[in-house]
Amino acid sequence: MEEEVRTKTAERSASTAPHFLRSSHHDLRPVDLWRTRHILRHVIKTFSKLVELLPATEQSKPQIVLLAGEVTPFRNDTDREMPFRQESNFFYLSGCRIPGSYLLLAFQNGTSMENNPSSHLFIPKAELADIMWSVPPPSLEEAAATHDATRVDYPAALPDAIQELVKAFPGALVHTLPTSNLFPTIPSQYTAPFLAGNVHVTEDYLLTALHRARLIKDANEIELIRRANQISSRAHEVVMRVLGQGVRGTIKPGKGAGTERPLLPSEWLIQKEAEAEALFVASCRREGAEHQAYLPIVAASTRASTLHYCCNDREFSWGPVGPNDHKNCNDLAHNHERVLDPQVLLIDAGCEWKCYAADITRTMPVGNGGKFTAEAREIYELVLEMQRLSFEALKPGLHWDAIQFICHRTLVRGFQRLGIFKTPNSPNSGSWNSEESILASGISSAFFPHGVGHSLGMDVHDVPSASKPEKNETIKRIELGHESFYTYLRLRLPLEEGMVVTVEPGIYFSSHLLAPVRDSKHIDQEVLKRYESVGGVRIEDVVLITKDGFENLTTVRSDTEWVEKVCSGEI
Ligand code: GLY
Ligand code: MN
Ligand code: MN
């Protein structure tokens, strides 16, 4: 037996099969909804956007698309696959999550192909090594039964299929995705027949067409995003509830836990960012989500002011948290008296479901018996207000810039209420401290530096080229405040029914961002000091723009009363 295993290992190492033919195919279950021709509708929609982009003289020509799917990545010297995730555009047009696949599409405006484009899918053939080491790809018959393709073959048939198309459609334009490390490369053996046939191959239009098509989601896509949001919402609630149980003291290690035996999940306390992250991911994974849509951001204490904090490795703070503890280290956790400081825990995390994303942020109280401090609650409620007023405005036709402005205006009003920004009635102030003057100064960008949201779909920051026109006139309109409000805004369009966007206002007290405004005449520095230890608060939900307004696809609650009750273990 040992001998046999050794022999097979040697065979595998010596295999000349390229990696993509030896890739793993762990989840080949079809996405049930894909069987309703809606992938074909994605294809038709993409071609129609593509034709709109072409010069008039090219529009009636046959259009061909050649795409490579993602291959399974391998980690060096482990002979073990890393997680496979299909390239989003490939998945959109094929519904295929089989590594190492190709797709060949053909379409012609004004012909019967306008509603019936051809879709030829190429999936790798199962190799002995696949079967022995991993899960093999499906057979051609299985793949044909579970995909919306006109035909399914092995990649070896791709050069001939291309030749046939070139012959059948003289003068066709061939479209590929841009050559870049963002997209899988099409081996030259597959593009050679086009070049040999003097066929015009272009990468100028396809990505733009795909992004435009993907901007508006169909019912099937919305269901997948809804599912990703439900799973992720439960995962956020799991973390909050375990924090609450910790406060109540109901998580008790059983006999021998941590000494004679490891702790079981029911005995885990959350006392570090890493523990919160592990629970979040475990909750998504046990519900079947394969991937996180992005690496979770799990930041406690003043680290919450780092927008895309990426360490997730610090203990909660034990001991006074000052504004300069941004980079506090684990030493803080080892005071003799282990009393948890009042602090926030910001978790920005969402899983994906069948390649569709969630993107949710919750900020929760830690220490202080699971309640926010007075200052943290004031900031939390102000961020909630920014989000609530944004929600009230959402509807098709409203320009997204207006939502960004609503958030800044709400922040300025809130800071004036709290005394962080001076008001015309404060001592030593005047009309230069009016709401309008403060907005015009751009100072609120030091506290809310990012965009209020972005399009979300298969990718978290979805369809960037369709989200942000190169020229945007809106910011020139004085009533929309200061140019800095829009620097990092990823969506610069009027809303449309069927868009899915995040609404994620935040307020941060970052020493880096505050440095340039330390001497600002608008800020009462004494009052600001009281708030700096809050670090940061962000609240992020995913919403669908509907005919009359919006639907919130994120189900975990964020109202202060519920969050505090859960995090303190009262409910
Ligand atoms: N999770 C990154 C973002 O909210 O945009
Ligand atoms: Mn987001
Ligand atoms: Mn997020």
Q: Mind listing the pLDDT tens digit for each residue in 420-434? A: 999 987 766 668 899
Taking ligand 2, which is a single-atom ion, which protein residues have CB atoms under 5 Å away?
Answer: 359, 502, 504
CB within 8 Å of 99: residues ≥ 6 apart: 20, 23, 24, 25, 69, 70, 71, 72, 84, 86, 124, 137
Centre of ligand 3 from the C-alpha of residue 571, in Å: 27
Q: Is 372 in the pocket of ligand 1 (CB under 6 A)?
A: no
If one residue of 236, 280, 294, 383 were mutated to test the ligand 1 pocket, choosing by the most ligand atoms within 8 A of its CB, it would be 294
Domain topology for 219-567: Creatine Amidinohydrolase (3.90.230)
Nearest-CA residue for atom 4 of ligand 1: 359
Long-range contacts of 13-21 (CB under 8 A, 24+ apart): 13/79, 15/127, 15/129, 17/127, 17/129, 19/71, 19/72, 19/74, 20/71, 20/72, 20/99, 20/100, 20/124, 21/100, 21/124, 21/125, 21/127, 21/130
Q: Which ligand is nearest to the CA of 361?
A: 3
Q: Is 504 in the pocket of ligand 1 (CB under 6 A)?
A: yes
Quote the pLDDT of residue 191: 81
- Please give, one letter per residue, the 3-state secondary structure of 546-569: CCCCEEECCCCCCCHHHHHHHHCC
DSSP annotation of 293 reads S
How far apart, in whole angstroms, are the C-alpha atoms of residue 514 and residue 144? 58
- Judge if 2-215 and 219-567 fold alike in CATH terms: no
Ligand 1 atom showing the smallest separation from residue 348 Cα: 1
Q: Is 499 exposed, middle or buried (0-12, 13-18, 19+ CB in 10 A)?
A: buried
Ligand 1 atom showing the smallest separation from residue 359 Cα: 1
Q: Is 459 in the pocket of ligand 1 (CB under 6 A)?
A: no
Return the biggest CA–CA distance within the chain: 88
Centre of ligand 2 from the C-alpha of residue 348, in Å: 8
Quote the pLDDT of residue 336: 46
If one residue of 540, 542, 554 were mutated to test the ligand 1 pocket, choosing by the most ligand atoms within 8 A of its CB, it would be 540
Quote the pLDDT of residue 426: 72
Centre of ligand 1 from the C-alpha of residue 410, in Å: 21
Ligand 1 atom showing the smallest separation from residue 350 Cα: 1
Quote the pLDDT of residue 25: 47
| CATH architecture group of domain 2-215 | 3-Layer(aba) Sandwich (3.40)
How far apart, in whole angstroms, are the C-alpha atoms of residue 557 and residue 561? 10
Q: Is 532 in the pocket of ligand 1 (CB under 6 A)?
A: no
Centre of ligand 2 from the C-alpha of residue 504, in Å: 6
Q: Which ligand is nearest to the CA of 503?
A: 2
pLDDT, tens digit (0-9, with 9 covering 90-100), for 236-283: 999 999 999 999 999 999 999 999 999 999 999 999 999 999 999 999
Q: Is 462 in the pocket of ligand 1 (CB under 6 A)?
A: no
Quote the pLDDT of residue 430: 67
CA-closest candidate to residue 184, choices 262, 98, 249:
98
Q: Which ligand is nearest to the CA of 453?
A: 2
If one residue of 312, 404, 448, 460 were mutated to test the ligand 1 pocket, choosing by the most ligand atoms within 8 A of its CB, it would be 460
Centre of ligand 3 from the C-alpha of residue 358, in Å: 8
Quote the pLDDT of residue 475: 58
Quote the pLDDT of residue 425: 77
Q: Which ligand is nearest to the CA of 455?
A: 2
Quote the pLDDT of residue 172: 95
Nearest-CA residue for atom 3 of ligand 1: 359
Domain boundaries along the sequence of the chain: 2-215, 219-567
Quote the pLDDT of residue 428: 66
Question: Which of the residues in the chain have pLDDT under 50?
Answer: 1-35, 321-336
Quote the pLDDT of residue 302: 95
Q: Is 127 in the pocket of ligand 1 (CB under 6 A)?
A: no
Ligand 1 atom showing the smallest separation from residue 490 Cα: 5
Ligand 1 atom showing the smallest separation from residue 361 Cα: 4
